[in-house]
Amino acid sequence: MHDFDLRDFFPYRVRVFATAVSAAVTRVYTERHGLAVSEWRTMAILGSNRALSAKEIVEKSSMDKVNVSRAVQSLRKKGLLKRDIDGDDRRRAVLRLTEEGNRVFQDLVPLVRDVEQQLISDLSDDELRVLEKLMARVKHKAEETLKMAEHSG
């Protein structure tokens, strides 16, 4: 019989950490504009990239197709997102923020950046670099482990 305390399990602690960080930021766009996490992520990706297909949003967001699809539908209903046919490829639909979507995005960026600064304010520049480096290493190892499992199974 193996002793197992979930609180000591690294993947669980990462999830608790991510949930706490996300909740601090989520409060801003939820209270201010009634946006869900998937809606904010979709807007943030489009705000930085201008026009993308839903498939490209999935690739850049770490969200699945269903969440992106729901976010797109909801943002379109709210008048924050529009769907156009790509000028270069008539078979491809691209998504863009509307003028109102852009206004909301621009309103939120400094606010979420402020929360980000609050979250890392106790870390020195060196500590932040180390944290980011360690996070990247663990992420890389997780992706490597997943690839190995996919090839062996």
The arithmetic mean of pLDDT across residues 66-91, rounded, is: 89
Q: Locate the domains of the chain by residue range.
A: 6-122, 123-153
| pLDDT band of 51, cuts 50, 70, 90 | confident
- Report yes or no: 84 and 96 within 8 Å, Cβ to Cβ: yes
The arithmetic mean of pLDDT across residues 44-57, rounded, is: 88
pLDDT of residue 106: 96
CATH of span 6-122: 1.10.10.10
Does the model's pTM come out above 0.95? no
pLDDT of residue 50: 80
- Report yes or no: 57 and 68 within 8 Å, Cβ to Cβ: yes
